[in-house]
Amino acid sequence: MQAFLDSLFFAGRSVRQSCLLAVLGAGCLTAGDEAFNGRWIIQPLGGNNGRVLWLEVSGAGTASITGAMVGGGPGGQLDTIRAPRIERGQLFFHLERRFGREREIVAETHVVAALKGSTLYGTALRKRGGPLLWVGERAPALPERDDGTWREGGSVDLFDGSGIGGWHTLRPGGEDRWYVEGGVLKNRRRADVLVSEARFWNFRLQVEYLVHPGMNGGIGLRGRYEIQLLDDHGMPASDRGNGALYGRIAPSVNASKPAGEWQTLDIRLVGREVTVVLNGVRTIDRGVVDGFTAMATDWREDQPGPITLQGDHGAIEFRRIAVTPLTQ
């Protein structure tokens, strides 16, 4: 398998001459090209630091295929798929990372995918880190809406100011990178994602946090959708700014405070609808969450998920993390 995947990358990615599914031992498929259309939740096979990927495809079966992917390329942001085409029942595209004033391509990831039944199999071919095999399933419909009928239950304090009981790191053994000092939860350099043992579906999340100059972090809702935490006071609002649904929904205004000051987030999540109040300002009002963000670690989108904290992007502090379940 490894030799085959290496040959795809270094010999011009000649998978069009064979069937990916046959190589994977799953048999080839002759379904129509339009079967690739839709939203896909992708679980990597083997080690990938717990990350989950996401893909959307439209226009398959026509001359105008479009789409986007999270986690397939370097950096993990939402990337537009480039030069998509379907040959011999297989979907090909690549992702690009551009950098600098000239926007030069500094990294590429080549992806090939094939269908068997309702399952999507694929591989992402990268020069660094080797090829990544994955398997995908269609994203579920989440019909619930934040329509005013949801009522708050009892609040659950996920942080009591004394320790990290009720939490674990994504990869076992990394809890020592998080610590409590003066009733405040802090992270050390390159801290692993912190995951709550409690899992939630529809809820209100209240957080008090502080970012240090030039630093950022994130809060994962159900372990799938990241609300960005960032030192960006005075900058234009963006989908990668403080309080944004990372890479997907930008705040209506930038309501950030300067680095070093405590800030508040009040978040509601019902089905796929998210509302964000940053420092008392409603900045996202029932925005529709199309799919996962780069911080996704929990791939069962139709099930309750944890609250997760990102700690590998610099110093960030928390002094309140409280969840109130919402029920009808």
Q: Which residues of 190-215 are buried (b: 16+ CB within 10 A; e: fewer)?
A: ebbbbbbeeebbbbbbbbbbbbeeeb
Q: What is the DSSP letter of 244?
A: S
Confidence at residue 17, expressed as pLDDT on a 0 to 100 scale: 42
* Kind plus residue range of the DSSP H or E element containing 6: helix 2-10
Report, as ranges of residue numbers, the positions in the chain whose pLDDT lies below 50: 1-17
Q: Is the dihedral of CA 125, 130, 135, 140 positive or negative?
A: negative
In terms of Cα–Cα distance, which of 49, 106, 42 is closest to 69? Answer: 42
Single pTM value for the model: 0.89
First and final C-alpha spacing in the chain: 50
SS3 content of the chain, % helix, strand, coil (to 5): 5, 45, 45
Confidence at residue 7, expressed as pLDDT on a 0 to 100 scale: 42
Confidence at residue 5, expressed as pLDDT on a 0 to 100 scale: 41
Confidence at residue 313, expressed as pLDDT on a 0 to 100 scale: 83
